[in-house]
Amino acid sequence: MFPKLRFKEFDGDWSAVSLLEISTLITKGTTPKQFIEGNINFLKIEAINQNGFDLSKCQTISDEINNKELKRSILMEGDILFAIAGATIGKNAIVQKELLPANTNQALAIIRLKENYSKVFISKVLNSPLMEKYIDINISTGAQPNLNLQQIGSFSFALPNLEEQTKIAFFLSAVDEKIRQLKQKHELLSQYKQGMMQKLFSQQIRFKADDGSEFEEWASEKISKVFTNKSKSFNPLLNESLPCIELEHLSQNTGQILGIVNSSDQQSTKNLFEPNSVLYGKLRPYLRKFAKPQFKGVCSSEIWVLTGLKISNDYLFQFVQSEQFTELTNIQSGSKMPRADWNVIADAEIEFPCLEEQTKIANFLSAIDQKINVVSGQIEQAKTWKKGLLQQMFV
C-alpha cells in the first residue's frame, strides 16, 4: 500500500495502522464545575487557528482545578487536540511548549502519540480528505454532531517510515506557511484599504486635479439628492427570465457575487436592477454585503438597488463600503433595528466631491480591490493545490 504521489527517494509499502495503535492515550477533557481564574490555559475549539492556538480566545483555570478536578486531561507538549463536537469537527492543532501548563474540555480529543511518530505528519493526516470522508461516514447527527473516542481510535490510514513522515510533514508545512503568508497579505491589503477609505471619505486626504490645482470644497446634500434606491418591482411569473441574486449570494465585505439562480424559479416579487447598479443588503446582520454586477437582473427585496444621481456608481460602490456609510445607517436607522430604513436614511445629509475627484477616489480604491482579488485568487489556488496533494499523498 502506497500513495499516488510520493517523493522519489522513497519506495516500499506503507503500513496500515489505526490511530489507537500508534497512541499512548486518546481521551478528552472536561468542563470544570466553575471557572476560577489562574495560570493554567484552558484550550477550546474556537482558539484553534492556522498557527496553532489563539490564547486570547481561551480561559484560564486555577492550579487546584487543573491538578484535582481535571487531572485526567492535563496536557503535554506534542499532544494533538482534535475537535470531536460542533460545527468545526475535525479541526486540530498540536500543543506547543509555550502553551503549557494547559488543559481542555470535552469537545476536544487528546491524542498522545507513541515515540517515533511525526506529530506534524499525523496532524496533516487528520486534516486530510481521508479524515473528512471518515467523519462524514461516522458522524453522529444529533443536536450537536460529534465523534466518540472509540471512533477516533478506530480511524485507520497508511503510514510510512519516520523519515518519509518527516519529509512529507516538512513539505506540507511549507505549503501551509505559503497559504498563511498569502492570507496575511490579504489581511494587510484589506486593512490598508479600510484605512484609506476612512481618510478619503472624511477628507483627511484629498486628491488634486491633473494640473496640480486644488479641487473645490465638497458639496453637502440629502442622500435622496445624491443617490437613489431605485427598486423597481419585477414579477418572475409574469416577466422574462433573468439572473437572480438572493441575499446569501452577496459576500460579506468583498463585493463578490457567490451565486446566481434563475428568476423563473423564484415565486416572490423581486427588484429589477440594471448593469452597474450597486446592490446593498439592508438586513442589519448583513450590512456591508454589497456588489456591482455588470449585467441586468433581479434581486431579493431585502437588497437595495442603489444608483448615483450626483455621484458615479463607481464612487457609490466604494462609499457604501466605508465606515462612514455603515455608521450613518446605524445612526439613522438605529443600530438595533433588524434592517436599515431607506426612508430615514434618504433624509440624512452627506458630503461628496466633484465628479473628477470622485473618479480619482474610485480608481484609487478599485486598484486596491484588484490587488486584493489577485491575492484572493492565489489563496484559493493554493488551497485547491493543497487539497489535491492531500488526496494523493495519503491513503
Lookup result for grid cell 485507520:
156
Task: Please give the Cα distance from 307 to 313 (Å, whole number).
Answer: 6
Residue 237 has pLDDT above 70, yes or no: no
Residue 125 has pLDDT above 80, yes or no: yes
111 versus 323: the higher-pLDDT residue is: 111
pLDDT of residue 302: 86
241 versus 322: the higher-pLDDT residue is: 322
63 versus 236: the higher-pLDDT residue is: 63
260 versus 143: the higher-pLDDT residue is: 260
- Prediction pTM value: 0.84
pLDDT of residue 262: 83
Position 367: which residue type?
A: A
pLDDT, the chain, mean: 90
Radius of gyration for the alpha carbons in the chain, expressed in angstroms and rounded:
27
Task: Please give the Cα distance from 132 to 129 (Å, whole number).
Answer: 5
pLDDT of residue 276: 94
Average pLDDT over residues 80-95: 93
Q: DSSP letter at 86?
A: S
pLDDT of residue 148: 93
Task: Please give the Cα distance from 271 to 239 (Å, whole number).
Answer: 12
Residue 128 has pLDDT above 70, yes or no: yes
26 versus 240: the higher-pLDDT residue is: 26
Task: Please give the Cα distance from 244 to 335 (Å, whole number).
Answer: 29
pLDDT of residue 328: 81
Bridging pattern class, strands 243-245 and 297-299: parallel
In sequence order, which ranges of the chain are alpha helices (DSSP H)?
Answer: 63-64, 119-126, 129-138, 149-154, 162-201, 223-226, 313-319, 323-333, 342-345, 355-393
pLDDT of residue 155: 96
Task: List the one residue out of 168, 138, 155, 220 whose CA is nearest residue 3.
Answer: 168
Average pLDDT over residues 100-105: 95
206: number of Cβ within 10 Å: 15
Percent of the chain with pLDDT over 90: 70
Average pLDDT over residues 128-157: 89
370: number of Cβ within 10 Å: 10
Residue 131 has pLDDT above 90, yes or no: yes
Q: Are 358 and 352 in contact (CB under 8 A)?
A: yes
pLDDT of residue 275: 94
pLDDT of residue 331: 65
pLDDT tens track for 10-65:
998 999 999 999 999 999 989 998 888 899 999 999 999 887 899 899 999 999 99
pLDDT tens track for 174-190:
999 999 999 999 999 99
Residue 281 has pLDDT above 90, yes or no: no
Q: Are 75 and 110 in contact (CB under 8 A)?
A: yes
Which three three-digit cell numbers place residue 25? Answer: 492515550
Lookup result for grid cell 433573468:
242
Starting at the edge strand found earlier in the chain, the sheet holding 92-94 runs: 23-28, 108-113, 80-83, 92-94
Task: Please give the Cα distance from 385 to 382 (Å, whole number).
Answer: 5
